Amino acid sequence: MNKYFYPIIIFCVLLLTIAWVSGSTNTDTNTEIKHYQNGEISFDYPASWQQQPKKENQIAAFQDPESGLNVSISRQVMPPGYTPPQNLVLNLANGVKNDFKPTSQQTINLNGTTAYENLYKIQGNSTPLEQKEIWVQTNGALYSVILKYPEGYQSTNSSFLSNTVNSIKSFFSLNSQTSSDSDIIKKSLKIAPAKLDNAAVFGSVAIPTLGVKWNIRYDTVNAYNGVYHYSESFYPGSNGSIGLLGHHTTYSAPLNHVELIKPGDTVIVRDYLTQKKYTYVVVSNDDIRYDYAVNTIKFPQGTNELVLGTCWPPGYTTAERYVHCQLSSVEPIN
């Protein structure tokens, strides 16, 4: 028998297998899907996912009760002059101890739109987790699809046959598609052009020891239930000092009890732009400047500091008092 007979037969079988897979519909996992659309954004998702109540700036949220996968789709209008972290990967100074670490990043084509796909590992829990983030910048806003799941979910959610066939297709340099349920949104996500209302609030700050939580605004300090983000300071996740200014006695008086804040207390910033929770530890609360007009507070680059500022003493603007905090940890916002 010709020595080339068996290699040719094997090659033909592989080609037939590839043709069979390529000709099949997108039902590698036999997943029944539903469609979500609100006029601005649309995507498919597995019918087994359960829709969850929305939080903060989420458009929609889902949970897969079988695997423990949690999915959130969010949108946040960007403040004027805001520059997102490069490729939407956190850019933090060295020395931050956290259990939320980036492991990979890639630029992808999302139905004709440039997007960023970032993967993180989340340690410190009884069950190690992974988080995949897909970011799109359009309509003057940041859109994110965030999937949090037990470590290994992506591999166990694909069948052995699909993985084998995908390996064959990859070997022949054909387009390989994952059959993971978590990619259904990515493959179908579409964001229509839309004129969005300005959103002055882009996050919140909480001081647990005082039992208070306030919105963070970029437009004014003279608003109820909020503090003002110093325009000359950095935004969360941008490797620089963040400044928040709040009234002491007026407009809900967010820093009414500033003198009660002690070193070691925690301050928690929830940022809707980066979809992260930043926990800070107070390091000092005795920076009182009667010459604040000339001895102005600075917000240097390369430091993970948070500064809370307010007038001093209560009811007067004779001085400004500053609480200095240092970043302790970074976590997913939900």
Question: CATH 3.40.1000.10 spans which residues of the chain?
Answer: 5-21+38-191
Averaged over 118-141, what is the pLDDT? 89
What's the confidence (pLDDT) of residue 93? Answer: 59
* Whether the predicted pLDDT of 25 surpasses 60: no
Token pair for residue 34? 């539903």
Phi and psi at residue 45, in whole multiples of 5°? -155, 155
Second CATH level (architecture) for the domain 201-332: Beta Barrel (2.40)
Collapsing DSSP states into helix, strand and coil, what is residue 324? strand
Which residues make beta-bridge pairs with 46?
Answer: 33
How many residues are given for the chain? Answer: 334
Mapped to the 3 state alphabet, what secondary structure does 160-191 carry?
HHHHHHHHHHHHCCCCCCCCCHHHHHHHHCEE
Question: CATH 2.40.260.10 spans which residues of the chain?
Answer: 201-332
Q: Percent of the chain at pLDDT above 70?
A: 79
The number of beta carbons lying within 10 Å of the beta carbon of residue 228 is: 22
Question: How are beta strands 100-110 and 113-122 bridged, if at all?
Answer: antiparallel
The least confident of 81-90, 179-188, 274-283 is 179-188
- The number of angstroms, rounded, from the C-alpha of 261 to the middle of its chain's C-alpha atoms is 29
Distance CA 93, CA 238 (A): 9
Homologous superfamily (CATH) for 5-21+38-191: Mog1/PsbP, alpha/beta/alpha sandwich (3.40.1000.10)
Averaged over 61-73, what is the pLDDT? 93
